[in-house]
Amino acid sequence: MWSTLQVSITSPVLLSVVYITERHNCQYPETILSVIRCIIHNFWTPKESNNITIKISPYKETVCFSVKPSRKTSGYTINVNRNIVDFKLFLVFVAGIVLYFYAKTLSQSPIFYYSSGTVLGVVMTSVFILLLVKRYIPKYSTFLALMVGCWFASVYGIYVLMEELQWLWYRNGIYILGYTLVVGFLSFAACYKHGPLVDGKSRTLLQWTLQLLSLVLIYAGVAAPQCACAVTLLLLCSPSLPYVLKILSYLKRRAKQCFTSKWPAVKHLTEEEYREQAEVETARGLEELRQACRQPNFPTWLAVSRLQDPKKFAAFVLGSSHLSPKEVSLHDAQYGPGGAFLEEQLFNPQADGLPAS
């Protein structure tokens, strides 16, 4: 994503690089975009120098150029180096990502408003002046045409100054510093006079402008156009990502309900669990019966008339056990250790359905 090819051309004499522009079709441009590309291509050509460096993306269209030294008999040296990671591209990409996510916060910050206005006034003076006199321009189309022209002129001026910055600072450093201070102060004063943005529409417009600038930085900070387009698409779709995740989660639950069995899973009880539940539920049922019989509306005489042992029932209602000592002894003799039922289960194979030997 951030690999570039760097072509360095050195010569003892002045030389220039001439691009072969058949691929741009600048002689007969077909669209407005082609015209803009040709204008940029013609303006952004390196001047004559002893050392020219060209950065080429290995994933974009083929770049063809020819080297023309000032003297035909002079030679020159071409070195081609591949940067696996171009840190300038990477920093531009990261700056674009950060600017996209913090565009809303920055558009509402007064500090960013004053600082960006001051920098805009210093770097792009013509654009800043045009924004100040916008109210005096009657037609919006005229303002838009002037804005596009000022932007191109400012960008081209910045490009030329960056090439000659070292020489200009060495020769005219005091003038550049004075220009920066004066224009910066005037720009800050103009921004302070207008005050920060308070209108919701103005803040939204500034947010969209910052996000558009961030997308441009992201596209310029990636060598492969396909990766840049993929990242741009993800960023544009990021606000709707929570809704997409909710829809996928809902579909996942529905699919799970459709493909799973509607019958609940059955778990068999062990012998110990069966005895524990039997004791607990029996005690609970007897207590509920005892409380029901104590209610005032319980038909006591009707129940007593149908019982064989009314005294035992009365004792049970008053809190005694529901089993008599005789019944307990008979149960132990029948089902307890050494009882007839246990002996029959142990010593009679036919009780388990097995053939006798």
Chain centre to alpha carbon of residue 102 = 13
Which amino acid makes up residue 94? V
Instruction: Specify whether the CB–CB gap between 351 and 344 falls below 8 A.
Output: yes
State phi, psi for 18 to the nearest 5 degrees: -115, 120
**Rg of the chain (C-alpha set):** 45
Strand pairing category for 4-19 and 77-83: antiparallel
CB atoms within 10 A of CB 87: 9
Task: Report which of 218, 47, 209, 34 is spatially closest to residue 131, judged by C-alpha positions.
Answer: 209
Q: How far is CA 237 from each of CA 47, 231, 234, rounded to the nearest angstrom?
A: 43, 10, 5
Say how many Å lie between the first and final Cα of the chain, rounded.
84
Given this model, what pLDDT does residue 88 score?
Answer: 85
Instruction: Specify whether the CB–CB gap between 28 and 248 falls below 8 A.
Output: no
| Regions of the chain with pLDDT less than 50 | 24, 351-357
Given this model, what pLDDT does residue 354 score?
Answer: 47
- At 184, list the tokens: 């910066």
Chain centre to alpha carbon of residue 213 = 19
State phi, psi for 41 to the nearest 5 degrees: -65, -40
Given this model, what pLDDT does residue 314 score?
Answer: 82
Strand pairing category for 77-83 and 65-69: unpaired
- CA dist 58 and 24 (Å) reads 18
- CA dist 146 and 264 (Å) reads 74
pTM beyond cutoff 0.75: no
pLDDT per residue as tens digits for the range 109-151? 888 888 888 887 777 777 777 777 777 777 777 777 877 777 7
Q: How far is CA 220 from each of CA 184, 223, 226, rounded to the nearest angstrom?
A: 28, 8, 12
**Domain residue spans of the chain:** 4-85, 89-223, 299-344
Given this model, what pLDDT does residue 220 score?
Answer: 83
Given this model, what pLDDT does residue 357 score?
Answer: 40
Given this model, what pLDDT does residue 340 score?
Answer: 58
